[in-house]
Structure 1
Amino acid sequence: MALRGTFVRLFRKQLSNIFRQQKCAHSVAIIGAPFSKGQKRTGVERGPGVIRDAALIDRLSSMDYPIHDFGDLSFTHLAKDEPFMHVPFPRTVGLANKVLAGAVSSAVGAGHTCITLGGDHSLAIGSVQGHYQHCPDLCLIWVDAHADINTPLTSPSGNLHGQSVSFLLKQLQDKMPAVPGFSWVKPFLSSSDLVYIGLRDVDPGEHYILKNCGIQYFTMRDIDKMGIQRVMEVTFDHLLSRKQKPIHLSFDIDAFDPALAPATGTPVNGGLTYREGIYIAEEIHNTGLLSAMDLVEVNPTLGASREAVEATASLAVDVIATSLGQSREGAHISFDKLPSPNMAYKSENEQKVYL
């Protein structure tokens, strides 16, 4: 069995290498989604701004990607939006996600790798739906302290940022009431195409759903026990061993330990270390299959200091850049681009320099 598992991993790696070689040099689309009505704390709508201010565009541009920054979307907060059951702002959240789905669909359809900057995690309903319109066989990797798979009937808070996955999952169709504002959403995701990493705050209803639907998930205890390398191996074996599929990465900054990412709305102690989070992003990039990504829940109003906000935003940029190929080995250039003694001279007024 161990030999077979090794063979499967090597075969998958070969296929991924072929995929990367055949794939044209891709471009990156950046979409800001300044939205906060999926939960009750204000400030998370400023997340896209502080992530941009942490030199996101400069970092990605230095990686030689064509960058298409489409700016921030404009969302309408409906004045008359009565709660549904105990779910606040259902129509506003539904409309915002419909707008985002259209933007992500356009970006993916144009051949870009699409990066959505949140905003709260309810936005994943729209980003994954928009991605699905062009990649119906996608798989979803959800990196988060929380499962976000409550339904309106199981959610303790009613907040839609804790219910995103339930709108997408086919296995929950008969458990979901008709939430106003979401009639356009089509549940398409199979439980076998979903993996969670980093869970450590799961509600009772969510735990039942995870177990009953047979969803693959890794808690922080699993990461402690198995190690992050093995977690990623099992993740890819689960999602990609039968078929190479486009990957949608939905990354909540609260997956990290609050010591690293303090400026977020629902921090939970005992989260990912920097190295674990970056390793996840590196391994996803190495598949050559990342097609769209969300980076959500950076809330600058919840940082105790400017340094706390900057640390959280900088961490978000690191995750995005690593997912797109930034390496801890340093920047790489082709060997034939190295300077030679005959290439490098300064101006006639400066000392001649040989490299």
Structure 2
Amino acid sequence: MMTVEHNKFLSGKQVAVIGAPFNGGQPQAGVEQGPLRLVEFGLANQLEEMGYNVSYEPNDDLDSLKPAEDPVVQNLKNPKFVSRVTQKLAGQIEQHAKQGEFVLTLGGDHSVALATVSGVFAAHPNACLLWIDAHADINTPEATESGNVHGCPLSFLTGLSQGHPEFAWVKPILDLGRLAYIGLRDIDNFEKKTLREHNIMALSMHHVDKWGIGKCVEMCLDRINPNRDLPIHLSFDVDALDPTVAPSTGTPVRGGLTFREGHYICEALAETGLLVAADIMEVNPSLESDEAVFKTVQVGCSLARCCLGESLL
């Protein structure tokens, strides 16, 4: 495999791999095993073979932050635990990003985006965010039907949710005009209303079918990064991929991105020379068969490599 050169906003070929072994934002155990499985599969070595200097922070002590009691507050489950973990990770991510390193965060459930976006945008305040997911994750605490924080991070990060006592540290750091989605196909009615009312760039699988993935990526960048001069943060939930491609994830939804469509997104963003951070989220090795887990972990690693410039030619 060849690599494309990287990156206009980074100081060198340094990648900080941040483990986020955390499952508190949703009810299914096992997603906290995702980061270690990706690393055991050889992700760090693969990046080093691509010419990167790689540091790895496993954060395998996150359970120590779990409170003795963590009652539901304003409809959200485990708010203390989620807040403590994501605040800790946000500081770590910010530090690496401010040193000019590419930050690759391995989840963990998507509540970890409270940390990744907070940390990356603290270092790159004019950045834009491309969210690849079957779900919009922009429910407010009042609107969420499940109470799971992994369905709410973007409402806090954009300022649509304010006033929750446990998440007062989360700043509304993301302008809605710098947020775009690809791959949506399981969206709550409240989220649909929010996306429409705020004119957020949101492309569902219908749009991918209609226009193709190449045009979809260009349309998103035209909206959130029109001059191609802003840093880009990619947050990729593997449930954006069809379950035949990435079966070992907690909320699979049929009709998702193909293997190539998912990889094209990462390749195209790497080609811009603007990508400064990527999240690979919701790999759950406790779900499905050993073969399914292998397939999902393999895809997670290859997506990460593409973010850092691996190309087919």
1:35 aligns with 2:22: yes
1:240 pairs with 2:229: no
- Indicate the residue corresponding to 1:349 in structure 2: none
| Corresponding residue for residue 139 of structure 1 | 128
Aligned to 2:290: 306
Gaps of 5+ in 2: none
1:68 aligned to 55, 67, 71, which one? 55
Give the total of aligned pairs.
308
2:258 aligned residue: 273
Pick from 301, 305, 310 the counterpart of residue 317 of structure 1.
301
Secondary structure of the equivalent of 2:278? strand
Who is 1:9 aligned against? none
Tell me if structure 2 keeps the 8 A contact 1:105–1:130. yes
State the Cα deviation string for residues 190-213 of structure 1 (Å, max 9, x = none). 111000000000000000000001
Give TM-score scaled by structure 2 length.
Answer: 0.95
Whose RCO is larger (CA < 8 A, sep 6+)? 2
- Aligned-residue offset at 1:19: 8.7
CA distance in 2, matches of 1:210, 1:282: 27
CA contact (8 A) 2:267 2:306 kept: yes
Report the Cα distance in structure 1 between the residues aligned to 2:291 and 2:212, rounded to whole angstroms. Answer: 30
- 1:37 maps to a residue whose letter is G
Match of 1:79 among 68, 88, 93: 68
Shift of the alpha carbon at 1:234? 0.8
Instruction: Find the counterpart in structure 1 of residue 245 from structure 2.
Output: 260
1:1-355 to 2 correspondences below 5 Å: 20=7, 24-75=11-62, 76-170=65-159, 172=160, 176-242=161-227, 244-303=229-288, 305-329=289-313
Matched to 1:325, the amino acid is G
Where in structure 1 are there 5+ consecutive unaligned residues? 1-16, 330-355
RMSD between superposed Cα atoms in Å: 1.7
Quote the offset at 1:74 in angstroms: 2.4
Query: What's the CA shift for 1:36?
Result: 0.4
Q: Is the 8 A contact 1:152 1:177 kept in 2?
A: no
Counterpart secondary structure, 1:148: coil
Offset of 1:180 from its aligned partner?
3.0
Contact 1:220 1:272 in 2 (8 A): yes
Q: Is the 8 A contact 1:73 1:100 kept in 2?
A: no
- Residues 297/19 of structure 1: CA separation in 2 closer, same or farther (3 Å cut): closer
Letter matched to residue 173 of structure 2: F
Tell me, in whole angstroms, the C-alpha distance in 2 between the residues paired with 1:22 and 1:248.
12
One-letter amino acid of the counterpart of residue 240, structure 2: A
Deviations 1:292-311 (A, max 9, x none): 111110111112x1111010
Instruction: Give the distance between the partners of 1:141 and 1:280, measured in 2 at CA.
Output: 10
- TM-score, with length taken from structure 1: 0.84
Deviations 1:30-76 (A, max 9, x none): 01011000001111110101111221112111101111112235221
* 1:210-266 alpha-carbon deviations (Å, 9 max, x no partner): 000110011001000000111111111112224611111100010000011111000
Answer whether contact 1:31 1:73 (CA < 8 A) is retained: no
Measure the CA separation in 1 of the matches of 2:47 and 2:240.
23
Bigger radius of gyration among the two: 1
Give the Cα–Cα distance (whole angstroms) in 1 for the partners of residues 40 and 234 of structure 2.
Answer: 22
Q: Rate the CA distance shift 1:223–1:277 in 2: closer, same or farther, 3 A.
A: same
CA distance in 2 between partners of 1:228 and 1:82 (Å): 42
Cα distance in 2 between the residues matched to 1:294 and 1:21: 19
Q: How far is the alpha carbon of 1:179 from its aligned partner?
A: 2.1
